[in-house]
Structure 1
Amino acid sequence: MRIWSVHPRFLDGKGLVACWRETLLAQAVLAGRTRGYTRHPQLVRFRAQDDPIGAVGAYLTGLVDEADLRGYRFDRTRIERPVATNALIAVTEGQLGYEWGHLQAKLVERSPEVAARWRDVTPEPHRLFRIVPGPVEDWERPGPDPARLGPLGGDA
């Protein structure tokens, strides 16, 4: 499960669809409708909110808005609490940078044209998040060594 901190505009089509599906699963987990994935680290930041279902609903709203811009048909009725809000959850610079590097590696493999479009861009977060100073989040399970990544995902 990957619930990206980066703005959904940076995701390729496959990534946007996968994020939508995985975040719907996260919504089900947070609502207590499934027994799987209950300890998934990606859910820590949503559980820490006063209204976890509203927070994940705000995240899903951002995804469906991006899907609409691209002409995709995501079913908005699947969002339990479609909250339109901005910057509720802090995301560290280190986390955003780590995810940016991770996303770039995925895009180079499966969507090189999308990777090229975003190569020299500074990533922005999903509108639910606000950037704060700090390293990769404690809940992240890093693949590549995050110490070699600069503050926004480039080589240090």
Structure 2
Amino acid sequence: MRLWSVHPRFYDRQALTACWREGLLAQAVIADPSRRGYANHPQLQRFRAAQDPLATIGDYLSSVVDEADARGYRFAREKILRTGPVERIPVARGQLEYEWGHLLRKLQVRTPAAWERWHSLPLPDPHPLFVVEDGPIADWERVG
């Protein structure tokens, strides 16, 4: 599961659709904690720590579907169970840098035109749910 901290405008088609599917799975797990599967996935920690986890993952998904709409894709917005208002979640600069490098490597292989467009950008904007703070890669990240 990858719930990117990077703004959805930087995703290629594969990352956007995967993030939508995985975000819906995260929403299902947050809505029903007894669900099996990804119930203990470390990336869910930052959503579960929010005051309203279901609205927080809903706001996350809303930005993903907004980007899909802008590209002419048809994601089912009605699958979002609840939205905010919610507080923005801090993301460490080190985490955003790590994810940006990870995404750029994927873009270079899958979508060279997107890589060419974005590779010289030192740090992307974060997903609208997140606010960047100083700090290292998150403890929950699986660094490969």
Q: TM-score of the superposition, structure 1-length normalised? A: 0.88
Contact 2:43–2:140 (CA<8 Å) still a contact in 1? yes
Question: Sequence identity of aligned pairs in percent?
Answer: 57
1:14 has 2:11 as partner: no
Root-mean-square deviation (Å): 1.2
State how far apart, in whole Å, the 1-side matches of 2:50 and 2:25 are.
Answer: 18
User: What is the rounded CA distance, in whole Å, between the counterparts of 1:14 and 1:140 in structure 2?
Assistant: 21
Count, aligned residues? 142
Once the two structures are superposed, residues 57-83 of structure 1 have per-residue CA deviations (whole angstroms, 9 ceiling, x without a partner) of: 000000011001000011110000133
Structure 1 SS opposite 2:125: coil
CA distance in 2, matches of 1:129, 1:83: 14
Structure 2: distance between partners of 1:129 and 1:84? 13
Mapped partners of 1:19, 1:123: distance in 2: 17
- Give, in whole Å, the separation in 1 of the partners of 2:38 and 2:79: 19
- The Cα of 1:84 is off from its aligned counterpart by 6.0
Q: What are the within-5 Å matches in structure 2 for residues 1-156 of structure 1? A: 1-32=1-32, 34-83=35-84, 88-121=88-121, 122-143=123-144
Moved over 4 A (4+): none
TM-score normalised by length of structure 2: 0.95
Task: List alignment gaps of at least 5 residues for structure 1.
Answer: 144-156
